[in-house]
Structure 1
Amino acid sequence: MYGEYDQVSHIYDFGANIGLASLYFSCVYPNAKLTCIEPLPNNIEFLRANLSLNSIDAVILPVAAGRARGSVELFHSPQSHALPSLFTRQANSIEAPMVPFADIVAGESYGLKIDIEGAEADLIDFPEVVLKAKWIVGELHYTGETAHDYKVDELVALISSRFEICRGRPIAYFVGQDVVICESFRARRS
C-alpha cells in the first residue's frame, strides 16, 4: 500500500498502532524525522518496544488527532486494539486527549500516513496540512453517517485537486451492528 515516494524530512504516522508502518518508513526514509501519533496506551507500549528494538528514534504523541483540542471517547474491541474509533461503538472505550492536526504537523517537506478509523474526515478542516504534504497514504472510512461520509468525499476531492491519487478496492467489515467501508489510498503531488 505504501510504495516509495519522494524523500521527505518528516513523516507523521497518524494511527501508528504498534509501529509497523513506522518501521517500514524508517527503512525507506532513513533520514526523515518520525512522529507517531497513537492514543491507546496498550498500543503505545508495543509501539515503544518495536521502535526501541529496531533502534528507531521517533517522537511518540499519546493523543488522538482531530479538529479541536480537548478529549474524546475512543471505542475499541477487547480482542483487538487495532481499530480504535470515534464512530463505531465497541465493547470498550477510553478517554483520550485530542489535539488538532495543525498543532501536530509543521514544516513543508513531509509525508502523512493516516489510518485513524474515520477521524481522517476532520482533515478537511485543515486543508493547509493536506496540501503541504509531499505524499499521503492511508485509509478512508465510510460509516454510513451522511455528514461524516460527505466530509470523507470532500477530503478525497481536496487531495485529488493537488495530488495524483490511487484508491484501493473498498472492503466492508462489521463492528457490532455497524458496517464500515474502508478503502486504502496513496497520493503524491502531481
Structure 2
Amino acid sequence: MGTFGKLIKEHKWSGLIVFLRIKLGLTKGIRIDSLRYPVWLRPNTSDVTTFKHIFVHGDYKFDINPEPQTIIDAGANIGLASVYFTNKYPKARIIAIELAPSNFEQLLKNTGNYANIKAVNAGLWHRNETLKFKEEGVSPWGYKVENEIEEECISVPGITMDEIIEKHNINLIDILKVDIEGAEVELFSQNFENWLPNVRCLVIETHDRSREESTKTVVNALSRYNFSSRGQVGENLVFINDDLQ
C-alpha cells in the first residue's frame, strides 16, 4: 500500500488533507487526528520523509507493557518521534536529544506544546567532550560527527547516558530510541555498563553503510545482557531486555 492509501487508512479525512498539503508543499502546521498539536515541516527537506516514516509507515509502531514512564529520544531530529511517543504514551516523560542546531530549532517548534518533553541540544556520546560535526549537503539528515577539528565545523556539547540519568534522576529507561548517524559505534563500544542493563526496550537505526561495524557493535554490547531481538520495525531494530519484563 502506498503513502496515500496508508494515510487514508490510518488517519481518515485528516490523512487526505495531509496528503494534499504535502503534494502542494504546504508543510507548516500539519494536523492529523492522532496528534494533539500540529507539526511543522520544512519544505524541500527530509522532514517530509521523516514524517512519512513515522506517521504513515509506522517506524515506531510497536507496543511495550507496562506503558513506559521514561523515554529517551537520542537523535531526535525535528522531534517527530518524540511527538509520536508522547501522543501514544501521554504519561511518559521524554528526553529529546538533538545535535544539529537547525534541527533543534525545529524540534522546539514541534515539541513546545508538550510539557513532558525536555529538549536537549547536544550529541549523545560515550564520553564528556565537545563534538565537532559538519552538515553535508542540503538534507538535515546529512551530518557526520568528526573526532578532529575541521574547517566549517559546528561545535556542540557531547552528553553521556550517565549524565542524562543523573541530571533527570532516571532509574529505569523504558524506551531508548537511538538514531545518531553512526555514533552508535562509540556509544556501544565503551562506558555502557552502568546504563544499558537499565534499558527495557532499545529501538535503534544502525548505519552500516557509513560505519560497517555499526550493527555488530550494538549486538555485541547487548549480548552481555539478557536482550532478545524483536525483529525490525521500519528502519529500526528492536531489542527487549528480558530481565526487566
Deviation of residue 60 (structure 1)?
1.0
AA at the equivalent of 1:19: G
The structure 1 residue matched to 2:126, chosen from 67, 75, 78, is: 67
CA contact (8 A) 1:159 1:165 kept: no
Deviation of residue 169 (structure 1)?
9.3
AA at the equivalent of 1:102: D
CA contact (8 A) 1:110 1:135 kept: yes
AA at the equivalent of 1:81: P
Task: Assess, with a 3 A threshold, how the Cα gap between structure 1 residues 144 and 75 changes in structure 2: closer, same or farther.
Answer: same
Between 1 and 2, higher relative CO (CA 8 Å, sep ≥ 6) is seen in 1
Look at both structures and tell me which one has the larger radius of gyration over its CA atoms. 2
Deviation of residue 10 (structure 1)?
0.8
The alignment of Structure 1 onto Structure 2 pairs a total of residues equal to 170
**More displaced stretch, 61-70 vs 106-115:** 106-115
CA contact (8 A) 2:100 2:121 kept: yes
AA at the equivalent of 1:31: K
The structure 2 residue matched to 1:153, chosen from 216, 220, 225, is: 216
Deviation of residue 152 (structure 1)?
4.4
Structure 2 counterparts to residues 155-174 of structure 1, below 5 A? 155-160=218-223, 161-168=225-232
Q: Secondary structure at the match of 1:85?
A: strand
Name the structure with the higher strand share. Answer: 1
Deviation of residue 70 (structure 1)?
1.5
AA at the equivalent of 1:162: N
Deviation of residue 115 (structure 1)?
0.3
Aligned-residue Cα RMSD (Å) equals: 2.5
Which residue number in structure 1 is paired with residue 236 of structure 2?
184
Equivalent-residue separation in structure 2 for 1:169 and 1:13 (angstroms): 16
Q: Secondary structure at the match of 1:86?
A: strand
Gaps in structure 2 of 5+ consecutive residues: 1-58
4+ residue runs over 4 A deviation: 143-146
Q: Secondary structure at the match of 1:111?
A: strand
The structure 2 residue matched to 1:97, chosen from 144, 157, 161, is: 157
% identical equivalent positions: 26
Which residue number in structure 1 is paired with residue 91 of structure 2?
31
Q: Secondary structure at the match of 2:144?
A: coil
Which residue number in structure 2 is paired with residue 56 of structure 1?
114
Deviation of residue 8 (structure 1)?
1.9
CA contact (8 A) 2:136 2:144 kept: no
Which residue number in structure 2 is paired with residue 130 of structure 1?
196
Equivalent-residue separation in structure 1 for 2:233 and 2:173 (angstroms): 29
CA contact (8 A) 2:185 2:211 kept: no
Cα deviation digits, residues 78-124 of structure 1 (max 9, x gap): 4111232226xxx9631111122221133124310000011112232
Which residue number in structure 2 is paired with residue 120 of structure 1?
184
Q: TM-score normalized by structure 2?
A: 0.62
Gaps in structure 1 of 5+ consecutive residues: 171-182
AA at the equivalent of 2:202: I
